[in-house]
Amino acid sequence: MRKNYKVTYTRKGYKPKKKLDVEKFFMHIGLPILIIAVLFSGVAIAKNMSTPKYDETIIGSPYSEQLLSLPAPTPTPVPRDDGVAPSFEAEYVQAYNGYEGEKIAYLTFDDGPTSNITPRILDVLKEKDVKATFFVLGKMVEAYPEMAKRAVQEGHVLANHSYSHDYKSVYDSKESFFDEIKRSEELVINTVGEEGYTRVFRFPGGSAGKPDEYKLALSEIDYVYVDWNALNGDAEGHNVAVSTQLANIKETTNGRSSAVILMHDAATKDTTVAALPQIIDYLRSQGFTFKTLKR
Determine the angle formed by the axes of helices 118-128 and 145-153, rounding to 10 degrees.
10
DSSP assignment, residue 218?
Answer: G
Judge whether 161 counts as a catalytic residue. no
Asked if 87 contacts 77 with a C-beta cutoff of 8 angstroms, the reply is yes
Annotated catalytic residue within 156, 161, 165, 264: 264
Q: Which residues pair with 6 in a beta bridge?
A: 19
Asked if 272 contacts 234 with a C-beta cutoff of 8 angstroms, the reply is yes
Residues 140, 142, 143, 149: is their CA dihedral positive or negative?
Answer: positive
Annotated catalytic residue within 110, 111, 227, 265: 110
Distance CA(117)–CA(269), nearest Å, equals 7
Q: List Cα–Cα distances, 11 to 17, 20, 81, in angstroms.
A: 11, 19, 104
Judge whether 110 counts as a catalytic residue. yes
On the question of a cis peptide bond just before residue 145, with omega within 30 degrees of 0, the verdict is no
Q: Which residues are catalytic?
A: 110, 264
